Every structure is written in structure tokens, then in C-alpha cells.
Amino acid sequence: MGSISIRNVTKRYGLGGTGTAVIHGIDTEIADGEFIVIVGPSGCGKSTLLRMVAGLEEISGGEIAISGRVVNNVEPSERDIAMVFQNYALYPHMSVYENMAYGLKIASVPKNEIRRRVDKAAGILQLAMLLDRRPRELSGGQRQRVAMGRAIVREPEVFLFDEPLSNLDAKLRAQTRIEIRKLHAELGVTSLFVTHDQVEAMTLAQRMIVMNAGRVEQIGTPETVYARPASTFVAGFIGSPPMNLLRGRAEGQTFHLGGQALPLAEPAPRDGDLILGLRPEHVALDTTGRWSLQVDLLEMLGAERLVHGRVANADFTLRIDATLSAPREHSTVWLRWSTGQLHWFDATTGARIEG
């Protein structure tokens, strides 16, 4: 069983009142076999949290348990985990086989068992033909697979991935994401995966932990986090391009923004200062639309276009199919959206308001 319990975990650097808190009381339960992605911007504490689970960072408060055993004071080597880092950390003078087998050799695992585990991992990761090569003879993607193979042969209860795809180019990242998904489907080992890339998070996660400034903003499936963001931070971080967020004042079926009164198809959840959210792909061009957009520029992205402009002097982006007739830059177009596509947030706290 590879379940993980994180109970009111905190992290502080320094002593006494001069210390700096970087993790502020995180609570979550991860079931055996789940693939969890911790996502957030640089400096939000996601790698620190992962390293505390690994035992590479001491926790300042709270409790971490793996498979029901509290591991606060347990050495990393005794936690039954395997970690894959951003840098491959392969021994350049060793072959692929020797790199994958090294940890087992140090642990005095019998040679025939080492061979069995390495051959099995090499088969899963399509490395069987590369076992005699040195790291310098491998591509970046192959080196990352060797690093994952080194973790697999340990047959741990938990895999920890610390931004393992950051050094790969876009094409290799996409390929390796698929390989990691297949790997998890085959092995079923509990996995914690840290990334700042929301595309990686959306494609890999069974559930996501979205972090901001050492706190959890939202935990949920990618579908839930995308469709019902818990805060303006989540709405602005998850999605490419991010959700349009317009700060104004609601009054019944009117939203006052930048001195303009914008009509709504249905009343806002409450009157007063609010933030209205609308995803770029949920907006369409329509001459009978309710809002006007002053077009500033267009971005061609192959199968689709991004139209950037201003609604009542607020920045606004919509995504349209590239086969549609594109508006001209510096022109005025009209926008429509379907009922139920608006999101509302508290103007002070940024928290989601249910309609």
C-alpha cells in the first residue's frame, strides 16, 4: 500500500520570529495507486513539499505518513520511495545497465534479481537495445527514461518526480508524458509529480494540487479544476491562454466595467464589486453579440487563432477556429457566449462565488 497522508504540514526556514514560513499548513490524502500532480509557479513551495515527503527536507510542523507509517523522523532510504529529478544524475562512466542496477548492487540485491528487475524495466521503457551504451551516447529523452528505469527497479511504494521533463524540448516532453502515463497504468504505483507546466499537470494528473505562495488553492481532477476554479489564481494559472478576468461592479443583469454598462444574459450571483471570468474558448464572434471588442492583434497557432483586444479598456482574449474568417486588427467585433459559461469571484478574496 502506497498511500500518503500530509497532515497540517508546515515549513519554516530560520529560527524564532525571524524565520520565514514557506509552507503554510497543507492537508491532503493520497490514495494508493493515485497519480497526483503538484502544480504552481516558481517559488510556490511545490518542490519543498515533495522533498519533505522524500525526507530531503525536515518538516517544521505537522505529520507525513506513507502507507500508514509516520515518517517525520525516518531516513529517506527507509521510506520505500524512488525519486526522479530534473537533472538525470547518471554516472557517465557506467553503461545504461550499470546505472539502472547500481542502487540494487549497493543494497546487496542478488545478481539474478538485479538482472530480472533491470530487464523488466528496460522492456517497459524500450531501453533493452541500449543497455550497453554510455549516457553520452543517448538523447535527452533516452537519458530521462534511464533515470526513470533506475527508480522503477527499486520497486518502491511511491514514485516522486521533481520536474523531470523540464530539460526536454517540446516534442520530447510530449512523448515522455505519454510514456509516463503508460508507465503508471502498467505499474499502478502511487506517484507525486511536481511541475510548473499546467499542460503537464492537465494531461498527467488523476488529481491536481494547485499551490500558490506555500498554500493549496485547490485540489481536484483536471476537469473540475478547469471547469470550476476555486479562485482567481487558479482561473488565471490553469488554461492556455488563461481565463479572462474582468474586475467591475454587478447590478442585476448589468456589469459595469471601465465606465461601460455591459449586459448579462442572467443576473450576477450578487450585486456589488465582483470579478467576472470567461474562458477564451467559450467566447465566439457574432454580429448579434452583447459586448464589443476592440481588436488589437491576432496570433496564428495553426488550427486556431487567438484574438487579443479590449472590452471596455480591459484586456480580453478569445480563441477561434483558424478556418473562420479572422477579424482585422484595430476593428470592432461583437462577442457572445453560452449560458452558464460565466464565472464569478469575490473582488476582495478572489474566492469563487457559486451562482
Q: What is the mean pLDDT of residues 291-297?
A: 94
pLDDT at residue number 1? 61
Which tens digits make up the pLDDT trace of 102-129?
999 998 999 999 999 999 999 888 899 9
Which residues of the chain does CATH 2.40.50.140 include?
241-353
Task: For residues 258 and 314, give the distance between their C-alpha atoms in angstroms, rounded to a whole number.
Answer: 7
pLDDT at residue number 18? 67
Which tens digits make up the pLDDT trace of 87-99?
888 999 999 999 9
Whether the predicted pLDDT of 64 surpasses 80: yes
CATH architecture classification, 241-353: Beta Barrel (2.40)
Q: What is the mean pLDDT of residues 21-27?
A: 94
User: Of how many residues is the chain composed?
Assistant: 355
Whether the predicted pLDDT of 19 surpasses 80: no
pLDDT at residue number 329? 92
| Distance (Å) of CA 313 to CA 110, 158, 284, 316, 331 | 70, 50, 19, 9, 14
Alpha carbon 293 to its chain centroid, in Å, reads: 31
Which tens digits make up the pLDDT trace of 154-203?
989 999 999 988 887 888 888 888 888 988 998 899 999 999 999 999 99
Task: For residues 273 and 247, give the distance between their C-alpha atoms in angstroms, rounded to a whole number.
Answer: 8
Q: What percent of the chain has pLDDT over 90?
A: 74
CATH number given to 4-230: 3.40.50.300
Is there a contact between 45 and 213 (Cβ–Cβ < 8 Å)?
Answer: yes
- Strand segments, DSSP code E, in 234-303 are 244-251, 254-257, 260-263, 272-278, 283-285, 291-300
Task: For residues 8 and 23, give the distance between their C-alpha atoms in angstroms, rounded to a whole number.
Answer: 10
Whether the predicted pLDDT of 299 surpasses 90: yes
Which tens digits make up the pLDDT trace of 198-238?
999 999 999 999 999 999 999 999 999 999 999 999 999 99
Average pLDDT in the chain: 92
Which residues of the chain does CATH 3.40.50.300 include?
4-230
Whether the predicted pLDDT of 75 surpasses 70: yes
Confidence bin at 337 (pLDDT 50/70/90) = confident
Confidence bin at 339 (pLDDT 50/70/90) = confident
Task: For residues 12 and 150, give the distance between their C-alpha atoms in angstroms, rounded to a whole number.
Answer: 32
pLDDT at residue number 166? 84
Residue, of 339 and 330, whose pLDDT is higher: 330
Q: Is the pTM of this model over 0.85?
A: yes
pLDDT at residue number 17? 60
